[in-house]
Structure 1
Amino acid sequence: MNWTDERVELLRKLWAEGLSASQIAAQLGGVSRNAVIGKVHRLKLSSRGRAAPAQTRQKKPKPAGTKAQRPAAAPRAMPQTVGATALKVDYEAEPAVRPSARPAENVVVPISRHLKLAELTDKTCKWPNGDPLTEEFHFCGNDSLETGPYCTYHARLAFQPASERRRQR
């Protein structure tokens, strides 16, 4: 998509009118919201997200000869905190308890045969163990399933049913 002079002028006009980047992208057609935001930044157009300053009340003229009385003090509105509050710690929240995907008593960890890459066959488990940049790196090497590259244990680790993945979220 090329930014022609006409499209840039339309962008400037729509931005000045206060339309969102998504609305501008829809009106221009063939351009994404992110492309509009990028062009706005490159053109250094003014940001529009700031609220207008509060309007001041005009004082009413006092009738001559009357003593001005102070109105009852109204509570001041405190400004809301705006900014990075993502790191604010909320100690009142209780930690979420996630159920384990599988019962621990059904897990049997196989003893690895410590095979190197050249020793693997179609019928051996290809689960990597360790850091590939070290000499201790090896593969599981146990008998693999006919349907995949891993033994029963590593297949259960690698391929979780969709229902269990949804439950963990």
Structure 2
Amino acid sequence: MNWTDERVEKLKKLWSEGLSASQIAAQLGGVSRNAVIGKVHRLSLPGRAKAGGTTAAARPKRTTSAPRAPNYAARAVTRTVPRTSGATALKEDNALELAVEQDFELEANIVVPMSRRLELTQLTERTCKWPIGDPLKEEFHFCGNDSPESSPYCSYHARLAYQPSAERRRLR
């Protein structure tokens, strides 16, 4: 099948009207859906119009800015994520809101215990194994306070490590 000027013009017209590649192939006759898609790409036609919408050429162009450092003080960030649409591989942008910061409410009467500053070799079954600091630095140590028989952590660090499932769901 040859692409005559007349068929190419009809393809452009049908594409701009928002018909799918399958519909255009059926109207042109003697050509497959994939042949229509290939010709659309070779002609560098804009995304096809959506029913009742505007063509991609009529839409305002997106401007991109230089990447920014994350702002952890912000509550939410909106990002545009490209998504392919079916076999036509056209791009459609969807905005997603991603949570960046979580607020934790601390109880009013929390007492943070003093650490005994134990090294790994000093830990026993009855000492708190909560790590404190950066393991690559000399100041790194473990809490070392007394822990109950059933827990590797003291009562303070156990509350941090084992949050009730309802509390975890609320924080999400």
* Superposed pair shares fold, TM > 0.5: no
Q: Which has the higher strand share?
A: 2
TM-score by length of 1: 0.45
TM-score by length of 2: 0.44
